[in-house]
Amino acid sequence: MAFPQTRMRRMRSSAELRGLVRETELRPEKLVLPLFVSERGPEREAIDSMPGVERLSISAAAREAAEAASLGIGAVLLFGIPAHKDPEGTGAFDDEGVVQLAVRAIAQHAPHLPVITDVCLCEYTDHGHCGVLLEDARGALTVDNDASLELLARTAVSHARAGATVVAPSDMMDGRVGTIRAELDREGLHATPILAYSAKFASAFYGPFRDAASSAPAFGDRRAYQMDPANGEEAVREALLDVQEGADMVMVKPALAYGDLIQAIKRAVRLPVAVYNVSGEYAMVKDAARAGHIDERAVVLEILTSLRRAGADIVISYHAKEAASWLT
């Protein structure tokens, strides 16, 4: 009987050898922890659809950020939940708004931890859409892309002035990266990077997030501005357009079902690529683990490693604290 000369198992025979030839590395500093910061409410409020994730007061968010820093996590990503909402989402660009105050508080507790801020209006509008509304010729309400750009730019400037390390527009309005870059530069904020939610899909995986941020649309959906999950070439085009407009990093959201696009976009843009391991993806793992169907630690680390393998330089995940503790 002839035996194969090439035996792939040779380099799998011990943990030491496997580690020596491991192609993809997962480290805490590649992870970003999202935080939901509430302007009013208790210090911590559980989110039923996202076990282990809480709405936090500003002071609790600062302490959570400090804990993330102590675990070696690379950054936090802030989402604000304002006390009041209105049609234009004015709380988003209020210099004393919830995110702006949280950025300052985190700087006191974790001065070296990068803080990324979500730039969008959906959490601040009373209708839950990502821009201001316009009534079209048939009397139907739609999101006014161009009128929303100024408000998004004002939000990004306000966040940067408060001390945000990176601003991350997630609205999917056409031209928002260029508008934000121009306004940041006009205000002397040349050093503030933009992480663009470039390939953000109208996904069924976002349900628990809308619960957490109280940001579900009051009518309709977001398919007119978020991407069709069936479109891959369009996702690459979106990312390239954002790069042309001045994005410093781009994002693919969600993550698990989009590994092909993470890889394609990484090859196309030659910039750092972030992925968002979103709320529905998180909740599925948590629910399966609670039911005893999976080994949570093993599954989480496999998922995060797979996203890095696909090409992600940065992984935004609600599992970040747990994963960081397992990796250290």
Distance CA 289, CA 255 (A): 20
What count of other Cβ atoms lies within 10 Å of the Cβ of residue 19?
9
* Average pLDDT for 89-107: 97
Q: How far apart are the first and last CA of the chain?
A: 46
Residues 222 and 127: beta-carbon distance below 8 Å: no
Is 80 exceeded by the pLDDT of residue 139? no
**Tell me, what's the pLDDT at 211?**
76
The question of whether 85 is a catalytic residue gets the answer no
Nearest to 248 by CA among 307, 199, 201, 192: 192
**pLDDT at residue 325 above 80?**
yes
Q: What pLDDT is recorded for position 235? A: 98
Confidence at residue 216, expressed as pLDDT on a 0 to 100 scale: 79
pLDDT, position 215:
74
> What's the pLDDT tens digit per position in 271-321?
999 999 999 999 999 999 999 999 999 999 999 999 999 999 999 999 999
- Is 103 within 8 Å of 78 (Cβ atoms)? yes
Q: Is the pLDDT of residue 89 over 80?
A: yes
Q: Computed over its alpha carbons, how large is the radius of gyration of the chain?
A: 20
pLDDT tens per residue across span 209-246: 877 877 778 787 888 899 999 999 999 999 999 999 99
Closest CA to 210 of 42, 63, 36: 36
Tell the burial category of 110 from Cβ atoms under 10 Å away from its Cβ (0-12, 13-18, 19+). buried
| AA letter at 289 | A
pLDDT at 53 over 80: yes
What's the mean pLDDT in 41-48? 94
Q: Which of 27, 115, 6, 101 is nearest to 65 (CA)?
A: 115
Does residue 37 sit in helix, strand or coil?
A: strand
What is the number of other CB atoms lying within 10 angstroms of the CB of residue 299? 16
Q: From the candidates 200, 266, 286, 321, which is the catalytic residue?
A: 200
Among 24-28, 132-136, 305-309, the minimum mean pLDDT is found in: 132-136
Active-site residue identified among 30, 85, 253, 286: 253
pLDDT greater than 80 at residue 142: yes
Which stretches of 155-272 are assigned E, i.e. beta strand? 166-169, 195-200, 249-253
**Is residue 1 scored above 70 in pLDDT?**
no
The answer to whether 303 and 15 are in contact (CB under 8 A) is: no
199, β-bridge pairs = 252
Position 33 confidence tier, pLDDT thresholds 50, 70, 90? very high
Alpha-carbon span 9 to 315, nearest angstrom: 30
Told to judge if 253 belongs to the known catalytic residues of this protein, a careful annotator would answer: yes
Q: Taking each helix axis from N to C terminus, what angle separates 320-327 and 296-310, rounded to the nearest 10 degrees? A: 100
